[in-house]
Structure 1
Amino acid sequence: MTEAPAATSLVDGVLHVRVSTSRPGNPLDPDALLAATATLVDVASGSLDAGAVLLHGGGSNFCAGGDVRSFAAAPDRPAFIRSVADAFHAFLRGLHAAEVPVVAAVRGWAAGAGLSIVCHADIAVGGPGTSLRPAYPGIGLSPDGGMSWALPRIIGRARAHRVILTDAVVGAQDALAWGLLSEIVADDDEVLPNATAIASALAAGPRPALRAARRLLAASAESGLDAHLDAEADAISHLAGTPAGVEGVDAFVEKRRPDWTVGR
C-alpha cells in the first residue's frame, strides 16, 4: 500500500483523511491532520459538500501513535508535545463539529493516538490482523486524543482502566466484542475497500437525517431521558419538513427508491 498523494481528498461525497505517514510503523502525521482540520471546517460550514469522512492509514498500519523520535529530538519536549496534542485535539474537535458519519479503516496497528482516533469513529472496520493498544505507558506518558474520556464509554470502566493502565493489546475479536470495532472483514486487504464502501453508502444516503442521528447519539451519554426524548421529537419533526424527509416518506408510500440528492 502506498501513501496517499494528499492528506485529504473528496471522492464521491466522501472526505478521505490520511491520519498517518508511510514511514516505518506509520506514525501520526501532524501535517496531514492540520490540513484535514482546515478541510473539516469547510465541511462543518457547508462550503464543502461531504456526506461522510473516511479515516485511513498511510501504510500497512492505521496509525502506530505519535512520532516518538520527534519527541526525543525536540529542544523543549513539554512545549513540543503540548503543541502536537493541541493540534491533534483540534482535528478531533473538527471531526465532531463536521457532524457527518465517520468511518475508520483500521488495518494493522492502532496504537496510542491511533487508538484514540478509532474511539471517535462512528463505524470502525478491522481485519484479522488488527490490534489496538494504548501505548502511552510504554513511553512514560499519559493518554491524549480523548482516550481516557471515550474508552470507558465504549468498553466500560473496568476494561478501560485495565487496558490503559496495563498497556494491554486488544486483538480484533475482543475489539469487536467490546464495541471498539464495528465489524471484522475476512482479509486485512479488504479493510480499506470495505470501509470505503460503507462511507460511500453513507454519503449517498439521507444526509440531514444522518447528521441529526449523529448529533443525538453524541448527546445521549450526557443527557437525561426526558430531555433526550424532547430532542428526538424536535429532530424528527424538523426533518419531516425538509426535502430529504419529504422525499423519504413519499418514496416509501409510492414504493420507489428515494432520491437522496433532493434538496442538496
Structure 2
Amino acid sequence: MTTAVTITPGALDRALASGAPPVVLDVRWQLGDPNGREYYRVGHIPGAVFADLDTELAAPPSPQGGRHPLPDPEALQAAARRWGISAGRAVVVYDDNGNTAAARAWWLLRWAGVADVTILDGALAAWQGAGLRLEAGDPEGVPPGDITLTPGALPVLDADEAAELARKGLLLDARAAERYRGETEPVDPRAGHIPGALSAPTGDNLTTAGAFLTPAELRARFASLGADPDEPAVPVGVYCGSGVTAAHQIAALAIAGIDAALFPGSWSAWSADPARPAVTGPHPG
C-alpha cells in the first residue's frame, strides 16, 4: 500500500478551502457508546458528514460474521453516494478517539477501490488543537455522489486462513493486552486469543496526543513483532474484537510500509464457534 495514509489538520483545512474539497466523514464511535451522531451534532469539522459505523460501515451482526461483518457492497455503495463520494474525489475520515473507529471507514473504502482516502492524523483533537473551527447541527442537502465501488482491493482472511497465518506467518491481535490474555472479555462469547497470534494493542500505534507514531517508530514496533518491510515474505494478518480497531492496525502497518490482511469477523466470530480453540495467558500458545 503506497498511497498516503494520513493528512494533517492544516493540509485538510487548505483542501477544504480549495476548488476541489474532499468529502469528510465523521466516524465517532466507541464500544458501548451509541451517541456518536449526537457528538457529531454538537460540533464537527465544517462540511463533514456523519458515517454510522454500526449501520453503514458494517452488516448486521451474526455468529458467523461477528459483531461488525463487512457490509454488503451495494449497501456500502449507496452509503458512499449519500456521503457525497464521487469518482476521483478525495475522502478524509476522522473520529474523536485516535481514529480507532475512523480507520474502519478508511479500510473499507480502500478495500472497495477508493484510492484517495486519508485519516486525519491526531483525529478531532488535532483539528481543535490547531485552532480550527467546528460547526454544529446536521448538514443541509449533501449533493449525492456517483461512486462505483469495486470491492476486493485489500486482502481479507476468513477464520481458517487466520488460523493458518498464525501458524505459518504473523497474526497480530490488536485488542487491549488484558483481552488478549483472557483476563477480561466485556462483549464476546469467550475470553482469550487465537492460537499462535501475537498481542499488538492498537493503542501502542499512537502518541499520547493521539497521533500515529512516526514511520520509523512504527517500523521498529512491528519489526519487534516479526513484521519487517524488508522481509515481505512473511505474510501479516490482523484481527481485533470485531474488525474495527484491526483496521487501525493495518493503517499503522501501512505507514510502516507493511501490507497486511484483515480478519473481519475477528474474535467476535472466532469465539462464537465452539469448535475454534482459545488460548489464555500472555503467550501465543
Larger Rg: 1
- TM-score strictly above 0.5: no
TM-score, normalization by structure 1: 0.26
Q: Which has the higher helix share?
A: 1
